[in-house]
Amino acid sequence: MSTKPIWRPTPSRVAASRLAEFQRYLEHEQKLSVASYQELHQWSVTQPAAFWKAVWGFTGLIHSEQAKHALLEPERFPGARWFEGARLNYAENLLSGRESGIALISYLENGERRELSWACLRQEVAKVAAALRRCGINEGDRVAGMLPNVPETIIAMLATASLGAVWSSCSPDFGVNGVIDRFGQIEPKLFFACDGYYYNGKVIDCRAKVAEIVPKLNTLKATVIVPVLPSHEAPEGTRSWEAFVTGEEEEPRLQFSQLPFDHPLFILFSSGTTGAPKCIVHGAGGTLLQHLKEHQLHVGLRPEDRLFYFTTCGWMMWNWMVSALASGVTLVLYDGSPFFPQPATLFDIIDEASISVFGVGAKYISGVEKAGLKPGESHALSSLKTILSTGSPLAHESYRYVYRDVKSDVCLSSISGGTDIVSCFVLGNECLPVYEGELQCLGLGMAVEVWDDGGNPVQEQKGELVCTKPFPSAPIGFWNDLEGERYQKAYFASYPGIWAHGDYAEITAVGGMIIHGRSDAILNPGGVRIGTAEIYRQVESLDEILESVCIGQDWQGDVRIILFVVLKDGRELTDELQQNIRSTIRRETTPRHVPAKILHVTSIPKTRSGKIAEVAVRDVVNGKVVANQSSLSNPEALDQFQSLDALQRA
């Protein structure tokens, strides 16, 4: 852990920040003055009702009825009641972000570019909402989408939310079973699907897949095909987007159902490989309020900003990104491979679209570094002020790479949360310094702690990431879990009344956090707990290695560490390279971190949001069945880990 920051904000940036504005708001409205971010965070978790009420007022959340109380029964977790009596609409807040200007800029991998003004976005949402009403879609009905990251996906979601119906989406690269495993549980009445998409130079036609899926979703009233590819007719029994939105009213009026704070908005799905995906239900008010807080107080978004996040519609970062419309920003969308036709594609878009906040997965940053890209030399990047990273821990080397080869004056914020909370526990902050390998700060209003094995809060020690108090974006429940048993088991089984998130983490001396890996993937040789991120950092610093996965193999009554590596083209896993890997790990960590075996593989299984599927690899190596392979983007990669001779001997 570095004691010297790799970046500090200028005094002028701090003074002009949204967080500084919020602190002035608190001084005026609540006569509260704080001397530091840590002091502000402490107040936000000890006075949650006052804090979240202040966020509501500061961000100008639009509502038709105000709640009498911000928080009732705060001692119940789950079960605390937020802003009871309030009435609002999520879509209304997003569509009221700005009166004029550009709302969406969209890129496809084939080079197609579109712009939608705020007026056009509102008009299109009104048309789709009217079409949904004609189909009989009402409050609480489910609408599903198997769609790429294009404007029509946002339009369909906002139209759904405007009526009080519930939106759920996945990316079109899911197989038939993967789609049915998800949407089959929630019984949608309407299904939006694409005719195809572009990825890595290929054109993928989805029409046959749609034709196979639709009969298996027997609650559907209609299926609507969003055109992405040229000259494709909608499959038989479906309706084209154009035919669906064309009605008697040429200019239907935007209408927004006014709904309770905890009215269902999204159903998101867990990406685990241990069984059928969990259907996680998020409420409209909690999602909106949390996202407004994160976007404005942590990222610092203003209406003049342009926000990009590389994400599919099956990852919660899509939902998080879209909510930024409520802050009046322009969203920049991209669908396709980030490395096609060449590794600099997304940096080209930064310059062309004047992106100010650029969000990607940690693996993307390490990938462009491995590709030898130096965007700071090849691109202007004059608009860029913040880089966001999530999906997995951001390696120390990636911090150095960004400040050395991308841009020296940028706030690099690694953030961490998840589908379960459709938001973050740990975030960035443009008013704080950046330290290598650290997430900058605990989220405001989030009572995050790290607990040791005895359930005691610790600092500068590794342990379980927990949240000790309720927060508005906690799920309102799981679908078809009426008694809440699965919900309780998922988050509260370890510590009653305490949210256990499943991350192995450490709070640092400066109040930031290091994520050492997922708790369920922690290595435990000889009873010593080791986070996989500690090993990845060392292994992937070596030039010969593209990426790696590390698991614990059950062996002779204990666990031994097995490391699998993907090599750069033309490289071989020689004895010399293996020795270099082992000596690097031993030198930079401890002898216990050194793998017992190092094996070469050509690819590593990942979830559809790009996360390495460590648990799936571990289960295959240990002879267990991976129950939900449809959650993987490349399940065929698991075949390489099956019954390996090298793992049957010492």
Residues in the chain: 650
pLDDT of 531 strictly over 90: no
CB-based contacts of 305, cutoff 8 Å, min separation 6: 327, 329, 330, 356, 357
pLDDT band at 484 (very low <50, low <70, confident <90, very high): very high
Given this model, what pLDDT does residue 164 score? 98
Q: At what angle do helices 37-46 and 48-59 cross, to 10 degrees?
A: 110
- Mean pLDDT score, 377-401: 95
CA distance 101 to 303: 10
- Mean pLDDT score, 478-498: 95
Given this model, what pLDDT does residue 533 score? 87
Residue 56: its H or E element: helix 48-59
Q: What is the largest CA-CA distance in the chain?
A: 74
Tens digit of each residue's pLDDT (9 = 90 or more) over 272-322: 555 678 999 999 999 999 999 999 999 999 999 999 999 999 999 999 999
Task: Answer for the pair 396, 436: CB distance below 8 angstroms, yes or no.
Answer: yes
pLDDT of 611 strictly over 90: no
- Mean pLDDT score, 54-71: 97
Task: Answer for the pair 131, 190: CB distance below 8 angstroms, yes or no.
Answer: no
The secondary structure of the chain in percent helix, strand, coil, rounded to multiples of 5, reads: 35, 25, 40
Tens digit of each residue's pLDDT (9 = 90 or more) over 5-33: 999 999 999 999 999 999 999 999 999 99
Given this model, what pLDDT does residue 558 score? 87
Task: Answer for the pair 298, 359: CB distance below 8 angstroms, yes or no.
Answer: no
Tens digit of each residue's pLDDT (9 = 90 or more) over 223-247: 999 999 987 788 888 999 999 999 7
pLDDT band at 432 (very low <50, low <70, confident <90, very high): very high
Give the count of beta carbons closer than 10 Å to the beta carbon of residue 588: 13
Q: Tell me which residue of 140, 88, 47, 502 sits closest to 286, measured CA to CA.
A: 88
Give the count of beta carbons closer than 10 Å to the beta carbon of residue 578: 17
Write down the mean pLDDT value for the chain.
94
pLDDT of 83 strictly over 70: yes
- Residue 72's identity, in one-letter code, is L
CA distance 337 to 343: 9
pLDDT band at 271 (very low <50, low <70, confident <90, very high): low
CA distance 13 to 356: 14
Task: Answer for the pair 517, 552: CB distance below 8 angstroms, yes or no.
Answer: no
Q: Tell me which residue of 97, 91, 408 sits closest to 255, measured CA to CA.
A: 91
DSSP code for 158: H
pLDDT of 451 strictly over 70: yes
Given this model, what pLDDT does residue 19 score? 98
CA distance 484 to 475: 11
0.95 surpassed by pTM: no
CA distance 225 to 223: 7
Residue 599: its H or E element: strand 597-600
Given this model, what pLDDT does residue 276 score? 74
Going through 49-199 in order, the beta strands assigned E by DSSP cover 71-72, 81-82, 87-88, 102-108, 113-117, 142-146, 166-170, 190-194, 196-199
